[in-house]
Structure 1
């Protein structure tokens, strides 16, 4: 049975290969129906959701992972993030009416900038540029990890209007590389390529792994439930507004003693009174 909104981490016994497989269903549908994006934009955002969920599962510390792109053709930006608690959020910005009915990944992204950012709760923030070197988001991420992180990686992403899913294999560093490890990676990479998109959407994680790797001892490491949850808060918005100058703050309240702010991710409304801002600047 396909489990709703599920992330499964796994490994292969006697190898240095780990993986994750994720399926997002009901909450994903809620998000794309609320945002009212076109189908192609929704599917692209679905792939971003799945990608950050898979990649953040590899984090060894508390924090969040952000995948974002700017200055795209017909789209100002697209971003998705996932934290170590498996909370996901994302957004697409821009005048999307200018996009064609069919969104081609390479044509959309080839003149833009794709970034992968890791923000630990404590520690240094890391950001890498992901070259738009392939025809799909999967291709670009695979190339980035092999070239920048020296980690052989295979990713398959898929999304429709009902669900978004993905699977990732990664060959971990080893102290003494050997021919068997290389052969294991080649074999499992080839088997992963046989996975069809409809199987990713419809099959349970156990069925996918059993079908792909029938002769391997696959060890399930953990099963978690990602959720679409915004990280906005009254305190975070106040902090952002506090960065404004006193003059800018005063201009906000020219029409009254309170303002209303909506989070662009979840549309939650926050009300702030003028005295709160005056106290911040005093």
Structure 2
């Protein structure tokens, strides 16, 4: 799309996509930049085969929005993996996002421990850390560890940018079982890669940050879930010199395949596969469900024998539910 500049009123907001897109924007001369998104049908597709409790869906949705916003703000080609691991009722959150904005996600939790837990991040995840891994298409793999602290995922992700990128960052995330949304703003470095802590650039970042901070709290997060990303940008920054640089789609995509699952089963060996076939849980059948998309792969005795056969090239066609 063509770049739109000037006061917010000069932008034709009705011409902007209202669906599952990501918006990159900046203010004035680019000293403050931002990214905003709201995912509805894409987010629902990602969790439709899972029965996530509301607290898990909310936290996982926030992680998805945060990871996609991070990919949009980092310049690289490859994949980002965000993993929150702790010892709380929600023991694991994993989000994988490619540089072309395709994502998949998963969560693990304990229903009994989750009941009645608090809303703070440490109440839900317990003591743990955010593991952020950047896997560029070309170049070395990079990993950063950030302690889980603060009231929400925003604090942990902001901690990464402060620790690894040295960029002042404000982030707000909101999600439920239907919608996930987020907004991120950053103060950009000047010549020499230095981010000034005083002067007009710092003042501008604080001003924009205060506007974004109005989204913090139950009412603000509800607004993020209810209105489109363009409408939210208009409401927040209608008095600012806002520039929208581009709009990009976000999609849910899981890379699991029957062939890949078959290769994994082959690696388990005959003894373990035959024991599974003889078990009381699923007699005569090996069932594997993808943790990310929820797809169920079934292999009967004939399928397993063909997998284990030395002349089997690929898993046979069989029912996938």
TM-score using structure 1 length: 0.85
Q: Pick from 114, 127, 149: which aligns with 2:143?
A: 127
CA offset digits 1:152-183 (Å, max 9, x no partner)? 11100011333111000012222165512111
Report if the CA contact (8 A) 2:49-2:294 is conserved.
no
**CA distance 1:277–1:224, change in 2 (3 Å):** farther
Q: How many residues align?
A: 278
Deviation at 1:77, TM superposition (A): 1.2
**Pair 1:68-2:88 in alignment:** no
Deviation at 1:149, TM superposition (A): 2.1
Query: What is the distance in 1 between the residues matched to 2:252 and 2:68?
Result: 11
SS at match of 1:254: helix
Report if the CA contact (8 A) 2:46-2:105 is conserved.
no
Deviation at 1:55, TM superposition (A): 0.7
Gaps of 5+ in 1: none
For residues 130-145 of structure 1, the aligned pairs below 5 Å read 130-145=146-161
CA offset digits 1:225-281 (Å, max 9, x no partner)? 211211223565466567x4xxx423244367995543221233455655555659x
Q: Pick from 184, 190, 200: which aligns with 2:204?
A: 184
Query: What is the distance in 2 between the residues matched to 1:121 and 1:82?
Result: 13
TM-score using structure 2 length: 0.76
**CA distance 1:136–1:212, change in 2 (3 Å):** same
Q: Over the residues paired in the alignment, what is the CA RMSD in angstroms?
A: 2.8
Query: What is the distance in 1 between the residues matched to 2:161 and 2:232?
Result: 24
Report if the CA contact (8 A) 1:41-1:103 is conserved.
no
Query: What is the distance in 2 between the residues matched to 1:203 and 1:97?
Result: 34
For residues 72-151 of structure 1, the aligned pairs below 5 Å read 72-104=87-119, 105-151=121-167
Larger radius of gyration: 2
- The residue that corresponds to 1:205 in the other structure is 229
- The residue that corresponds to 2:177 in the other structure is 161
**CA distance 1:207–1:15, change in 2 (3 Å):** same
Gaps of 5+ in 2: 1-13, 278-283, 312-321
**CA distance 1:9–1:236, change in 2 (3 Å):** farther
